[in-house]
Structures are given as structure tokens and as C-alpha cells.
Amino acid sequence: MIIIYFLIGFLATVIGAIAGLGGGVIIKPVLDALGHYDIATIGVLSSATVFSMAVVSLTKSILSGVNLEGKRTLMIAIGSIAGGVLGRLLFSRFLIILNNESLAKGVQSSILAGLMILVFIVVSYKDRITKLNIKKSAYSFIVGILLGTVSSFLGIGGGPINVAILVLLFSMDTKAAALHSIFIIFFSQLSGSLKIYFSTGFSAYNLDMLYYMIPGGIAGGYFGNTLSNKMKNTHIQKLFNITLILIILINIYNVFRYK
């Protein structure tokens, strides 16, 4: 059991750090499929692991001299902080309204599968789609709120959605979008975790496996960032697409399992 959860954290965050997926979009449906934890605990396990990956990956990128795109990226990140808090609030209301664990997992899996299909289409046909290049800080802030809300609500970190939006609205290539996605993930997951800490606290969650998933996330962030710096944009694109297909299939499985 311990090895399984360590490997989930490690492998998900290696891929997440390389392709900007964050890892949560892999961890969340995989933990749903295993069925060992309730939906709220899975969200916390996923968020904490992804956050540890983002810290390591960003620190390593900054120390190696990689530059982010200044003001607009900062505004997206600030917006994602507000979105992270909003997403957690919506998630709490969502659980209260449905009052059905299996139905909630099925709904989340349906939303996630649909979003991943849209992301796959956008990224696969990005050369045929007219892309914008947003410069205004206010628009960047609004985009950050939306990205932070979705990622926090679904407990996924938002990586692939971040990448698709950054490519589509900010005209970044896949490799640049992947790095900036990790930056956004850092802030959205930090704010979501702080929201839990200052409201309900973490004592209500069974976080035994977190002691193995976080080291996996740290190791995954380190090795993933190292590999990313050595990989070409085309290779990152291929890894991104293959991973998305696997995520879509896992979520479709979860939809039928929890319907």
C-alpha cells in the first residue's frame, strides 16, 4: 500500500513537472479508481502532493535561471489565489447539496473527462486555432481566478487546463506554458490549503498516506524538472497528449463506476 501511494505521487508529479500537468489531474482520478478514500480526503492528498512538486520544480527552475513572463504571469497567479479559495468554498457547498459520495465522484469525473477532451482538442489543433496574446493585467487576473476556481474545485491542480489557456490566450508554446502552469499551480494549491487550515483544519481527513505521497511529489518535481530542461518542445507535446488520453479513459471508467 505504502509503495503504491509513493509511486502514484512520484510518477504523477514527474509527468506533471515535465508537461505542466501538475500531477493532480493524474492523482485525483487514480485515487478515485482505487476507492480507498472519500472525495474530500482525495482532494487534500492530491493538492498537498501537487503543491510539494510545484515548490521543488519552481525552486529548481529559478535557481537554474529560467525566467517567467513577469507582470501578466504574476497577475494570473494572484487571481489563482482568489480562485483557489473560491473553488474550495464551492466544493464544500457541492458536497452538502449532493449529500452522496458516489454521485459526487461521478459528477467530478464527468466534468474532468469533458474538460480534458476540450484541452486535448485545443492543444492538438493549436496551430489551426486563432490565438490571442492578452497583455492587460485585469484580464490576466480574471483568467487566474477562473483557473484557480476550477482546479481547486476539482482538486487537480489545473495543469492541463492551465496549459491550454496559456497557449490559447497568451500565445505561449507548450514548454513555456508548462513552466508557467506550475507557477499558477503553486499559488492556487497554497491558497486552497490555507483555506482548509483556517476553517476546518486537517484533522477531519485521513492523511496517513500523505507522508509517502509528499516525498513522492518532491522527488517527482525534482526529476521532472530536470528532464523537462533536457526535452524538446515536440517531445513534451507528445507526452502531454498521451497523458491526457490516459486521464480521459480513467475518468470515463470512474463515471461508470460511480454512476
148-160 per-residue burial string, b: 16 or more CB within 10 A, e: under 16: bbbbbbbbbbbbb
Q: State residue 175's pLDDT score.
A: 75
Query: Which of these, 163, 169, 172, 168, lies nearest to 141 by C-alpha position?
Result: 169
How much is the pTM?
Answer: 0.79
Q: Is the pLDDT of residue 157 over 70?
A: no
CB 186 within 8 A of CB 55: yes
Q: What is the pLDDT of residues 66-125, one digit of tens each?
A: 666 667 878 888 888 888 888 888 888 888 888 887 888 888 889 888 988 988 888 788
Q: State residue 22's pLDDT score.
A: 66
Q: What is the pLDDT of residues 198-234, one digit of tens each?
A: 877 778 788 889 889 999 988 988 888 888 878 888 8
Q: State residue 6's pLDDT score.
A: 93
Q: State residue 213's pLDDT score.
A: 92
Query: Which of these, 156, 201, 173, lies nearest to 30 by C-alpha position?
Result: 156
Residue 172 grid coordinates: 505561449
Domain that holds residue 136: 2-257
Number of domains observed in the structure of the chain: 1
Distance, CA of 251 to CA of 241 (rounded, Å): 15
